[in-house]
A = this chain, B = another copy of it.
């Protein structure tokens, strides 16, 4: 799976979250990091989109939507001839959003300071995905990054890596498989001192079915508790 991360940040140089995200995925060879500029070549951008399977729009929330920088790009790159018409060049690809917001998560609900959920505010993107016959992924919203503890940042990093790079990040089995893959890469890179990592990997793989059972039992238990 190849992923295109379309980064739309009008003040990229002064952003703290974008370098964090960039560092998180720079070792992934199947991920293309693509910061937008006001000027671009429509044909090149279309080419880039067709070459990837998962498209991610990544931006700070400006007045309840993407910055004009991204909207301009969408208005021009997604021509009718390319995106719909007879061609539907992006059909069956995935569309994800990584949205950074300075407001707390709890503000985004009825009665909260921002009144609407992130899902509601991102409806135009959901409608876009539907129109282009893409699969819309759940939004990855990052609230108040600067206030996160180092541990929370670390968890976010792994979550982000999977959002970008894990074909099956929404399911437990997919998460375990992805972690095994990551370990295998680490071992291949490490050469020496990989005995410990090998052991972790082996143990993870031997217990895959056990872990699946565990995850399934846990979800059943939760359902019973809720009903």
Name A residues whose Cβ lies closer than 8 Å to a Cβ of B: 10, 62-75, 78, 114-116, 120-121, 123-128, 130-131
Residue of B nearest to A68 (CB): B72
Residue of B nearest to A78 (CB): B63
Residues A128 and B68 in contact, CB atoms below 8 Å apart: no
A114-B127, A114-B131 are known contacts; what are 15 more A-B pairs with Cβ within 8 Å? Answer: A10-B75, A63-B71, A63-B124, A64-B125, A64-B128, A65-B71, A66-B71, A68-B69, A68-B70, A68-B74, A71-B71, A116-B123, A120-B123, A121-B123, A121-B124
Docked Cα-Cα span, A71 to B75, in Å, equals: 12
Most central of A68, A74, A125, A131 by chain B CB within 10 Å: A68
Docked Cα-Cα span, A202 to B116, in Å, equals: 48
Residues A65 and B65 in contact, CB atoms below 8 Å apart: yes
Docked Cα-Cα span, A68 to B72, in Å, equals: 4
Which residues of B lie under 8 Å from residue A120 when comparing CB positions?
120, 123
Question: Which among B10, B64, B72, B128 is the interface contact of A127 at CB below 8 angstroms?
Answer: B64
Docked Cα-Cα span, A200 to B75, in Å, equals: 49
Residue of B nearest to A74 (CB): B63
Which residues of B lie under 8 Å from residue A74 when comparing CB positions?
62-63, 68
A70 CB, min distance to chain B CBs, angstroms: 8
Docked Cα-Cα span, A65 to B70, in Å, equals: 12
A61 CB, min distance to chain B CBs, angstroms: 10
Docked Cα-Cα span, A10 to B74, in Å, equals: 13
Docked Cα-Cα span, A65 to B115, in Å, equals: 19
- Can you give 26 contacting A-B residue pairs, CB < 8 Å? A62-B74, A63-B74, A63-B124, A64-B123, A64-B127, A64-B128, A64-B131, A65-B65, A65-B71, A65-B124, A67-B75, A68-B70, A68-B72, A68-B74, A68-B75, A69-B72, A71-B71, A72-B72, A114-B127, A115-B127, A115-B130, A116-B123, A116-B126, A121-B123, A121-B124, A124-B124
